[in-house]
Structure 1
Amino acid sequence: MRYIRVLPRSAAPLAAVALPLALAGPAAAAAGISVSTSGTNVTVVTSACALNNGSWGTASLLGSGQTSFAQGRQVALTGTTTSQSAAWAGVTPGTYTVTVQCSNGVSAGSQVVNVSAATTPTPTRVATAAPSRGVAGGLGGATRDYGTLTLGVGAGLVGSAVIAGAWFLRRRPGPYRRY
Structure 2
Amino acid sequence: MRYSRVLSRSAAPLAAVALPLVLAGPSAAVAGISVSTTGTNVSVVTSACAQNNGSWGTASLLGSGQTSFTQGRQVALSGTTVSQSAAWSAVAPGTYTVTVRCSNGVSAGTQSVIVSAAAATPTRAATPSPSRGVAGGLGGSARDYGTLTLGAGAALVGSAVIAGAWFLRRRPKPHRRY
Deviation at 1:84, TM superposition (A): 0.5
* CA-CA distance at 1:23 after TM superposition: 2.1
Q: Deviations 1:63-88 (Å, cap 9, x if unpaired)?
A: 01100000000000011111100000
CA gap 1:34/1:21 in 2 versus in 1, 3 angstroms: farther
The CA deviation at 1:116 is 1.3
The residue identity in structure 2 corresponding to 1:77 is L
Over 3 Å counting, the alpha-carbon distance change for 1:38 and 1:21 in structure 2 is farther
Question: Relative to 1, partners in 2 of residues 1:21 and 1:117: Cα closer, same or farther, differing over 3 Å?
Answer: farther
Task: Name structure 2 gaps, 5 residues minimum.
Answer: 1-5, 120-178
| Among candidates 23, 43, 54, match of residue 25 of structure 2 | 23
Higher relative contact order, structure no. (Cα contacts within 8 Å, ≥ 6 residues apart): 2
Quick one: which amino acid aligns to residue 56 of structure 2? W
Q: How many residues align?
A: 111
Where structure 1 has 5 or more consecutive residues not aligned to the other structure, the ranges are: 120-179
Deviations 1:137-177 (A, max 9, x none): xxxxxxxxxxxxxxxxxxxxxxxxxxxxxxxxxxxxxxxxx
What does residue 115 of structure 2 align with? 115
Are the structure 2 counterparts of residues 20 and 41 from structure 1 closer, same or farther at C-alpha, using a change threshold of 3 Å? same
The residue aligned with 1:69 is 69
- For 2:98, the equivalent position in structure 1 comes to 98
Q: Tell me how far 1:24 sits from its aligned partner.
A: 1.5
Distance 2:69 2:23 in 1: 35
Q: TM-score, normalization: structure 1?
A: 0.53
Give the 3-state SS of the residue equivalent to 2:70 in structure 1. Answer: helix
Partner amino acid, structure 2, of 1:24: P
Partner of 2:59: 59
Scaled by the length of structure 2, the TM-score of the pair is 0.53
Is the aligned partner of 1:82 residue 2:73? no
* Structure 1 residue runs of 4 or more that deviate by more than 4 Å after TM superposition: 19-22
Largest Rg, 1 or 2: 1
